[in-house]
Amino acid sequence: MRGWRLETPDREEVSSVLNTASNTAVADIQELPPMVQTLHWVAPQSYLGDRVSSYGGFLTYQSKSFGIPSEGMTLIDRQPDVGNWRHGGTNRPVSRQEFMMVLAGLVGLRIRALYFTQSQRLSLGEVGLEEATDSGTGGPANTVEVCSCPPEYTGDSCEKCAPGFYREASGLYLGNCVPCECNGLADECEDGTGRCLVRTLMNS
């Protein structure tokens, strides 16, 4: 649970600590203004990046609110957190292709933290994000594909550019992978721009 932090909708961090005994992130929110009705736990970098192998898996966690019910704790929103993924602006269902594009370069993961008014303390623990691996001990990951990719692509779902190629900023889905033009001076180039990434060798 190291690295998880609590944030307001304005991306302001709320102080939290790691309880090493229970391995949970804990935040005291008694001093927050009553109008604060939304808080999220924000995942550290270790949960982000290429998460295509998590497609069809489960994100599990244990989120708790602590307070005194007699002081007026009421449920803020009765809408369930589970269900189909939808676009935030349009509420349109997310297609498989769109979801895979997100998982190919996951840049953020936020878990709802605040469920009750008059909460005094919040905690988050037991966060798990399933992924398919060759050495996994669970059931078959039938929703995760392993593709035979064209030469310019790599990855289980061909979601990455192979060495010597870079991703154009335009094109279908994440963009096409096209050859680097580095005249033999580099074997890598920057996605979106094609700028050659030259490694400088130093004498030892």
**Do the domain assignments include residue 199?**
no
Q: Please choose, from the candidates 158, 102, 162, 122, the residue with its C-alpha nearest in 3D space to the C-alpha of residue 41.
A: 122
**Do the domain assignments include residue 174?**
yes
Report the domain count for the chain. 2
14-62 pLDDT, tens digit per residue, is: 999 999 999 999 999 999 988 888 999 999 999 999 898 888 888 999 9
Q: What is the pLDDT of residue 186?
A: 81
Q: Are 35 and 65 part of one and the same domain?
A: yes
pTM of the model: 0.74
Q: Are 91 and 21 part of one and the same domain?
A: yes
Last residue of a domain, one of 78, 99, 129: 129
Q: Are 35 and 77 part of one and the same domain?
A: yes
What's the DSSP call for residue 102? H
Q: What is the pLDDT of residue 80?
A: 53
* 71 φ, ψ (degrees, to nearest 5): -90, 10
Q: Which amino acid does the sequence have at 203?
A: N
Q: What is the pLDDT of residue 70?
A: 78
Question: Rounded CA gap, 155 and 152, in Å?
Answer: 11
**Do the domain assignments include residue 203?**
no
Q: Are 94 and 172 part of one and the same domain?
A: no
Q: What is the pLDDT of residue 56?
A: 83
Q: Please choose, from the candidates 60, 83, 48, the residue with its C-alpha nearest in 3D space to the C-alpha of residue 129.
A: 60
Q: Are 90 and 25 part of one and the same domain?
A: yes
Output 140 or 92, whichever has higher pLDDT.
92
**Do the domain assignments include residue 136?**
no
167-200 pLDDT, tens digit per residue, is: 887 666 677 889 999 887 887 888 878 889 876 5
Q: What is the pLDDT of residue 142?
A: 67
Q: Are 103 and 44 part of one and the same domain?
A: yes
**Do the domain assignments include residue 78?**
yes
**Do the domain assignments include residue 38?**
yes
155-175 pLDDT, tens digit per residue, is: 888 888 898 899 887 666 677
> By residue range, what is the domain housing residue 157?
145-191
Q: Are 42 and 115 part of one and the same domain?
A: yes
Paired with 42 in beta bridges are: 5, 110
Q: Taking a C-beta distance cutoff of 8 angstroms, is the pair 50, 155 a contact?
A: yes
Q: What is the pLDDT of residue 156?
A: 80
Q: What is the DSSP string of 118-187?
A: T--EEEEEEEEE----TT--SS--TT-------TTEESTTS-EEPTTEEEBSSSSTT--EEE---TTS-S
In this structure, the number of other CB atoms found within 10 A of the CB of residue 189 comes to 22
Q: What is the DSSP string of 23-42?
A: TEEEEE-TTS-TT----EEE
**Do the domain assignments include residue 21?**
yes
Q: Are 151 and 124 part of one and the same domain?
A: no
- Close Cβ partners of 189 (under 8 Å, ≥ 6 residues apart): 166, 180, 181, 182, 195, 196, 197
104-153 pLDDT, tens digit per residue, is: 889 999 999 999 988 999 999 999 998 877 776 666 766 677 788 899 98
5-24 pLDDT, tens digit per residue, is: 999 999 999 999 999 999 99
Q: Are 149 and 124 part of one and the same domain?
A: no
Q: Taking a C-beta distance cutoff of 8 angstroms, is the pair 1, 24 a contact?
A: yes
Output 79 or 57, whichever has higher pLDDT.
57
Output 202 or 167, whichever has higher pLDDT.
167
**3-class DSSP state for residue 69?**
helix
